[in-house]
Amino acid sequence: MDLFKTMAKEGHEQLVVSTDSETGMNAIIAIHSTLLGPALGGCRFWYYKTFDEAATDVLRLSKAMTYKAAVNGLNLGGGKAVICARPSEKTPGLIRAFGRFVDSLAGLYVTAQDVGMTLADLEVVREVTRYAAGVPEDKGGSGDPSLMTARGVTAGMRSCLKEVFGSDSLRDRTVAVQGLGKVGRHLAGLLHQEGARLTVSDIDPARVKVVAEETGAKVSPPARIHTESCDIFAPCAMGGVLHSATIAKLRCRIVAGSANNPLANWSDASLIHRRRILYAPDYVINAGGLINIACEMEGYQKDRAEERVSGIAGNLSHVFARAKEEKITPLEASNRIVEERLAKARAGQPGD
């Protein structure tokens, strides 16, 4: 991997690496852009086999955060962090070392919760830096962002249904949910309340059992969930699940979920489009958690945060309208909206 070439091509500003021999902390922070504001993005606690694998992940995720903030009208840039370790290696000392790493960037990057990190971990981070958001509500923060992310995805699904079927009702619509982590479980519950019929999968059988009992969902093996016949396929696990082989087997009308970077490559959006399947760009539909945290940074008011998260439906409608007008894919349309806003920022012009 040629880091300089990759970063230049994708427009990244910085990739910062830190180690701490005392605690065993090995972490990377990627800052894609600070044109619109400080780079905000969660920290992922995950075991990567190689440095290249970790760097590739954090670079892709940080760029998605820039796009997510920009398309949703937030005055924030995009960043992401990864702590490269197994779950069994997590200790308060290691998390504090990561917090000191974040603090060393003096606010250029603000961290938050992501896969493998908990609210308790963020509290430990806050012991050594103020540049952490999404802390517990009893500490003056906005709390776990996963429910807001799920609410935003639900709102976005309504926009997708309106586009495809002419009605935004979820009642009796079939949704296949891939991944039942925090967001996936919340999403399944919200969809069940709306009267949707669910098929679910996860690599953890215990999660599947709980959600199936709570919602009456049909259960599908993880390797086959994308092949289920449904109105909406909702990827809510790790990224890279949609590529030529899996896209060819989709049996849905809509792809809309909470996963970051579900496409193996952005060019795969064209494969979905050619199959006449509507793709909701991930960084538009899954922005609820980011919007919630942005509200915390402004002085958290839950009602205001919920209202802004519901606006994801309107953002998606705008993306779909532009895609139709310009005869491009929804992902190309959302990318253009982002790139136009960033270009204005570079030129010192006010944003939309």
Q: Write out pLDDT tens, residues 162-219.
A: 999 999 999 999 999 999 999 999 999 999 999 999 999 999 999 999 999 999 999 9
Minimum mean pLDDT among 111-115, 140-144, 200-204, 317-321: which range?
Answer: 140-144
Model pLDDT, residue 194? 97
Tokens read off for 117: 């990190």
Model pLDDT, residue 92? 97
Indicate if the pLDDT at residue 351 is higher than 80: no
Euclidean distance between CA atoms 258 and 261, whole angstroms: 9
206 CB burial (10 A radius; 0-12, 13-18, 19+): exposed
Euclidean distance between CA atoms 108 and 33, whole angstroms: 10
pLDDT band at residue 142 using 50, 70 and 90 as cut-offs: confident
pLDDT band at residue 339 using 50, 70 and 90 as cut-offs: very high
Which residue segments constitute the domains of the chain, with CATH numbers given?
A: 3-60+77-133 (3.40.50.10860), 146-286+317-336 (3.40.50.720)
Q: What is the average pLDDT value for the chain, to the nearest integer?
A: 95
pLDDT band at residue 331 using 50, 70 and 90 as cut-offs: very high
pLDDT band at residue 352 using 50, 70 and 90 as cut-offs: low
pLDDT band at residue 299 using 50, 70 and 90 as cut-offs: confident
User: Please, what sign has the CA dihedral across residues 185, 190, 193, 196?
Assistant: negative
Annotated catalytic residues are 80
Q: Write out pLDDT tens, residues 64-84.
A: 999 999 999 999 999 999 999
pLDDT band at residue 239 using 50, 70 and 90 as cut-offs: confident
CB of 37 closer than 8 Å to CB of 107:
no
Indicate if the pLDDT at residue 273 is higher than 60: yes
CB of 298 closer than 8 Å to CB of 138:
no
CB of 208 closer than 8 Å to CB of 219:
yes
Q: Across residues 92-99, what is the average pLDDT?
A: 98
Model pLDDT, residue 350? 65
Euclidean distance between CA atoms 237 and 261, whole angstroms: 10
Model pLDDT, residue 302? 86
> How distant, in Å, are the alpha carbons of 19, 218, 256, 300 from that of 230?
46, 12, 12, 37
Percent with pLDDT over 70 in the chain: 99
Query: The whole model's pTM is what?
Result: 0.88
Model pLDDT, residue 278? 98
Tokens read off for 201: 């999968």
Q: Across residues 294-312, what is the average pLDDT?
A: 89
- Of 308, 283, 280, 312, give the one whose Cα is nearest residue 293: 308
